[in-house]
Structure 1
Amino acid sequence: MASYDVIIIGSGPGGYVCAIRCAQLGLKTACVEGRETLGGTCLNVGCIPSKALLHASHQLHEAEHNFGKMGLKVTAPKVDWKQMLAYKNETIGANTKGVEFLFKKNKIDWLKGWGSIPEAGKVKVGDEVHEAKHIIIATGSDSASIPGAEVTIDEKIVVTSTGALELPKVPKTMVVVGGGVIGLELGSVYARLGTKVTVVEYMDAITPGQDAEVARQFQKLLTKQGLEFVLSAGVSKVETLKTKAKVHYTLRKDSSEQVLDADVVLVSTGRKPYTEGLGLDALGVAVSQRGQIEVDGHYTTNIKGIYAIGDAIAGPMLAHKAEDEGMAVAEGIAGQHPHVNYDVIPGVIYTHPEVASVGHTEETLKEAGHGYKVGKFSFMGNGRAKANFAADGFVKILADQSTDRILGAHIIGPMAGDLIHEICVAMEFGASAEDLARTCHAHPTYSEAVREAALACGDGPIHS
């Protein structure tokens, strides 16, 4: 039996970052992981492999549509799907081996196997029981099925994001159930590869919770790329046949029953906390109706010495949110006073163009009765974007009506996922839109569009 200061269960972004931070702070640390590789869902079957396929399929799009315009004469590219999957797998391998290297460098023990907590202060992995002063649950989440629908996921014809990342061939038709981040990212991958993709969404707009103006523009751009959308539609049944599936849904406006045929159905209706097998019931750990572990402001459960972070607790299911919580709980255990600012956690959709947001939307500000002003700038006015065939989209900054303090920002356009972070830093320091507008931005860069949107909160942009 080994004894540790901290044992973390789960090696996803929350877990492995937490483990490294614990080790940096001088705590004897171990991390439990049952997969053959470290990195959790994100590195193995989530964020990283999907970004590899998004990148590869975008390069195909560039070759097909933009190379010729730039004087690059090439024969029409062909998709070698096996090689594309091999590239994706190499990307996974490089990242997971990188985490393993970091564990060795920081002297973190990898306890291989699936963990459970037989009692406070003890973690069982296989037949061995290890002692720990502090136990951190970082077990992440799993794909959720369609609420109230008859569906059997076989990861061959009816798939989650996991199956969608390793289909044996590119399907001719695909129905994506759910118009959120995962469905739209993977849907856009297959649309670029030639699949006819139809997205069925229960709400009356895609990306629920997103700024409404951005969501409308996003849907228009995805439609131009070949995706089709059926909104306000509730899926009741997914019927699996030998080589295809039938998706039964009801249109909410007139209650009419509809059916769509597809070679593959991607179920992307959200995720749910994965806490199976931990023994939480027997321990008496408080869990919400949604299956989320309940914690206080220090990520402590109702059982002393047991903590939880990331997708296993309430809040946005984002890898970087889990990382911040992982660092915070490590620092708290080490006697520091960490803080996670939940008002400044960005969200990114890695389609092309990218969509990124932070803070309030116009809808949440209106609902709160908060006076605000809008500064907006189109990438059509950005020289770099026009030169790179990336002028679709805009930057939108929301600032307080009276103080000019930045309350939120929404970007749809090139490199949106990177551009959003200067606004995050500005918000972290309580900056005004004028502060951002008066900061010199290099020319020509995409980031000038952010400055122009900040200028638009005052006297107006220069290039519009």
Structure 2
Amino acid sequence: MASYDVIVIGAGPGGYVSAIRAAQLGLKTACVEGRETLGGTCLNVGCIPSKALLHATHQLHEAEHNFAAMGLKGKTPTVDWDQMQSYKGDVIGQNTKGIEFLFKKNKVDWLKGWASIPEAGKVKVGDEVYEAKNIIIASGSAVATLPGIEIDEEIVVSSTGALSLPKIPKKMVVIGAGVIGLELGSVYKRLGADVTVVEYMDGITPGQDLEVARTFQKLLAKQGLNFVLGAAVQGVEKNKNKAKVTYKLKKDDSEHTLDADVVLVATGRKPFTDGLGLAELGVEMTERGQIKTNAHWQTNVPGIYAIGDVITGPMLAHKAEDEGMAAAEVIAGKHGHVNYGVIPGVIYTHPEVGSVGATEEQLKAEGRAYKVGKFSFMGNGRAKANFAADGFVKLLADKETDRILGCHIIGPMAGDLIHEICVAMEFGASAEDIALTCHAHPTYSEAVREAALACGDGAIHA
């Protein structure tokens, strides 16, 4: 029976990163994965392929709307959907093969198959049983749907099916105005589909800073996305190659329907622990089906750890990566650390949305004295030159100490710009620290500095 110091279950961003870190720390490590390729949902049917389609369709949008104004004239590109799918596949392949290379480089064994844990210290893969001093569960999450709605991945699809539709639909209904629904809704809107987003809450991106969410909705509506908010979906009826979505408006209980060629169910995800045998092992779970862990990512069963989407916290690939490295370091006798107060969130539409730390609504609820520094991208020279002046940077700082409490950006490259604030928050920086730091001109990042200046005596270009 083969024996390992660490066996990681799942090769998504949390799992493969954890396995590599454990191996780097001198631990004999294996990683179990049942897919044909490594990388989990993120690299195969999530983050990476969706970003490929977002990038491709943004280029189409630029060609249709901005090229002529820049003196780039000619016939607008037509969409070869099969070629776009091939491009997406190539991107996936490059990334998944890259992880295979990293496993070989770091001497991580890939145990191919689906795992179960027959008892503490043992992992079963197929007919083989392996011994493990430590087990890290990183099995990720699965699509969560609404009661009574069956996903067939043809007419009623999850994010997985939406990435590989056989053709571009004329009409698409998206159920859920969260990150996944808005990103994929944007893709198909740019490709020419009539897209309607139905959301149970009264606003999009629940939990986002309210001012950002409202601006975001206006900008997406300007791009042609339709929104039905405060609507409870009652069901989806399929008829041959079409679907009918029925919903009730919460404000007056009136019932309405929407016709669609494709319905995308984007109502979130749930922890995936099927087949692991956790109940038989006595692993404690939360009411939401998550694995309970302590501050060191340990479960109540000695030698079994859990990270990523299967435990509490935001279901984000980078959160899982941080936990994966930290858990490996704890097992190796080091001090693993994750700062849960500085985990950024990004929405990769155009404009992008990036956020970290507290929202203004959270600070108000806490009764925290704070100040706001805002700067519009309309005052940023680079943004105006690039037809990207929609949006703003909003910096929140403690009223007395000036310490940065949060930041919310809607605008060009927001997903990259937010990391300046992440680093600043890690070091306990003040808004003034950002304001006094020289930023290259002309860059989008100057908008972040201007927002920091607005927390003090005032922005220069406002």
Alignment of 1:247 with 2:235, yes or no, is: no
Give the SS at the match of 2:174.
strand
Give the match for residue 5 of structure 2: 5
Determine helix, strand or coil for the equivalent of 2:438.
Answer: coil
CA distance in 1, matches of 2:370, 2:17: 37
* 1:63 to 2:63 alignment: yes
Partner of 1:303: 301
Deviation at 1:288, TM superposition (A): 1.1
Secondary structure at 2:164 match in 1? coil
Q: Which runs of 4+ in 1 moved over 6 A?
A: none
Q: How does 1:150-169 map to 2 (within 5 A)?
A: 150-169=148-167
Q: Aligned-pair distance for 1:240?
A: 1.2
1:362 maps to which residue?
A: 360
- The alignment status of 1:400 with 2:391, answered yes or no, reads no
Q: Which of 443, 446, 461 in structure 1 is aligned with 2:444? A: 446
2:373, 2:451 within 8 Å by CA — same for their partners in 1?
A: yes
Q: CA deviation at 1:241?
A: 1.3
Distance 2:172 2:413 in 1: 27
* Equivalence for 2:176: 178
Map residues 5-24 of structure 1 onto 2, 5 A cutoff.
5-24=5-24
Query: Whole-Å Cα distance in 2 between the matches of residues 73 and 23 of structure 1?
Result: 54
Asked if 1 retains the 8 angstrom alpha-carbon contact of 2:328 and 2:336, the reply is no
Shift of the alpha carbon at 1:230?
0.2
- The count of corresponding residues between Structure 1 and Structure 2 is 462
* Matching residue of 2:217: 219
Q: 1:236 Cα shift?
A: 1.1
User: By how many angstroms is 1:73 displaced?
Assistant: 1.0
Q: State the 1:74 CA deviation.
A: 1.9
Q: Distance in 1 between matches of 2:271 and 2:222?
A: 35
Give, in angstroms, the shift of residue 134 of structure 1.
0.1
Structure-2 separation of matches of 1:255 and 1:416: 38
Gaps in structure 1 of 5+ consecutive residues: none
Seq. identity, %: 79
2:282 maps to a residue whose letter is G
Residue 93 (structure 1) aligned with residue 93 (structure 2): yes
Q: For 2:74 and 2:217, how far apart are their aligned partners in 1?
A: 31
Gaps spanning 5+ residues in structure 2: where?
Answer: none
Among 412, 415, 420, the alignment partner of 2:418 is 420
| CA–CA distance in structure 2, aligned partners of residues 338 and 295 of structure 1 | 14
Aligned to 2:369: 371
Q: Aligned ranges for residues 58-207 of structure 1 at < 5 Å?
A: 58-146=58-146, 149-207=147-205
- Specify the SS of the correspondent of 2:44: helix
Mapped to 2, the partners of 1:153 and 1:73 lie a distance apart of 43
TM-superposition CA deviations, 1:119-150 (whole Å, max 9, x none): 0000000000000000000000001002xx32
Residue identity in the other structure for 2:255:
E
SS at match of 1:342: coil
* Number of the residue aligned with 2:433: 435
1:410 aligns with 2:436: no
Shift of 1:338: 1.8
CA distance in 1, matches of 2:246, 2:66: 38
State the 1:44 CA deviation.
Answer: 0.2
Partner SS, residue 341 of structure 2: helix
Shift of 1:244: 0.8
Q: Deviations over 1:41-79 (max 9, x none)?
A: 000000000000000000000011111111111202100
Deviation string 1:373-407 (CA, Å, 9 cap, x unpaired) is 00000000000000000000000000001000000
Secondary structure of 1:129's aligned partner: strand
In structure 1, give the amino acid aligned to 2:85.
L
Partner Cα distance (2:453, 2:185) in 1? 36
Task: State how far apart, in whole Å, the 2-side matches of 1:74 and 1:365 are.
Answer: 51
Distance 2:140 2:242 in 1: 31
Q: Distance in 2 between matches of 1:204 and 1:416?
A: 25
The residue type paired with residue 93 of structure 2 is: G
**Equivalent-residue separation in structure 2 for 1:335 and 1:233 (angstroms):** 51
What letter matches 1:237 in structure 2? Answer: G
Paired AA for residue 367 in structure 2: G
Q: Deviations over 1:271-324 (max 9, x none)?
A: 000000000011111111111000000000010000000000000000000000
Residue of 332, 345, 348 corresponding to 1:347: 345
- Does residue 31 (structure 1) correspond to residue 31 (structure 2)? The answer is yes
Matches within 5 A, 1:209-358: 209-358=207-356
Residues in 2 aligned to 1:20 and 1:12: alpha-carbon distance in whole angstroms? 12
Q: Which amino acid aligns with 2:84?
A: M
Aligned equivalent of 1:457: 455
* Structure 1 residue identity aligned to 2:214: R
- C-alpha offsets along residues 220-272 of structure 1, whole Å, 9 cap, x if unaligned? 00001110000000001111111011111000000001111100000000100
Tell me by how many angstroms 1:184 deviates. Answer: 0.1
User: 1:44 matched to which residue of 2?
Assistant: 44
Name the aligned partner's letter for residue 278 of structure 2. Answer: L
Structure 2 letter corresponding to 1:221: L
